Chains A and B, each alone.
Chain A
Amino acid sequence: MSAELTYLIWSAALGFVYLNVQAGLYRRQAGILQANGVRDDDPEPDVLTGRGTRALRNFYETFPLFAVLVLAVELSGGQDAFTFWGVTVYFWCRVAYLPLYVLGISPARSIVWTISVLGLVALFVGALV
């Protein structure tokens, strides 16, 4: 399996981590009983729940692009240095992004996000060229 595809599969696991961090932080605040209910009267998210939720939403924003580009590279057999470094940079930046957001470390979080998008740009260039 190519490095690009391996990173795509691990990024699915990473997405699951984002999801569970959000779900865990939400349950820490609202309680399991509330989470199991219909959540009509959810409390306003507190600081940590809000951070977990925003980090998850942020992950969703670029993950589909990453998945699309990796699939396009696989289908067209266009692996090269651009696509390899693109997926590597994207993945590890997204790994670092989550704790940076939950701990509220800025502006490192925004810088890491920007670098992850540069990884996507490299992947795009590699996919198209």
Chain B
Amino acid sequence: MSFELTCLVLSTVLALIYLSAQTFLRKAEVGIRHDVGPRDHDKGVSGILQGRAERAYRNFLETYPVFIALVVAVELSAASDPLTQWGAGLYLGFRVVYLPLYLMGVPWLRTFSWNIASFGLALMIAGVFV
């Protein structure tokens, strides 16, 4: 399996970690009993950590489809090169870093890590076309 495809498969674990951070923190606030029910009249979460986890998860979903599309394009067109490999590695690595930075409320570094991850996507786009 290519490096990019391995990154893609591993990214599914990362997606589940983002999702779990959001959902377990949420359950810590609203209670499992409420969440197992149909969640009618749900008021959302008000806790600081809960809000951070939710925004981090939403942020993850914003660029994740782009990453998926690029890895699939790289694979189907057999366009793997150092650009796409570095791109996929940077994306995955800095999306890993992003979550704890957000949960701990670290400003700037979180934004920079987002920028570097997105720069990885740009590298992949370049790599697909070059």
Contact = CB atoms under 8 A, between A and B. Distances in A.
B35 A68 contact: no
A90 to B, nearest CB: 12
Contact of A110 (B15, B36, B76): B36
B12 interface: yes
Interface magnitude class on chain A: 20 to 34
Interface residues of B, number: 24
The binding surface of chain B is classed by DSSP as helix
B38 A51 contact: yes
Given A61-B19, A75-B75, A124-B13, A68 B36 contact: no
Nearest to A60: B61
A129 to B, nearest CB: 11
A67 B68 contact: yes
B68 A75 contact: no
Interface string A44-87: 00010011001000001110110111011001101000000000
B22 to A, nearest CB: 9
Interface stretch (A8-16, A18-26, A101-109): A101-109
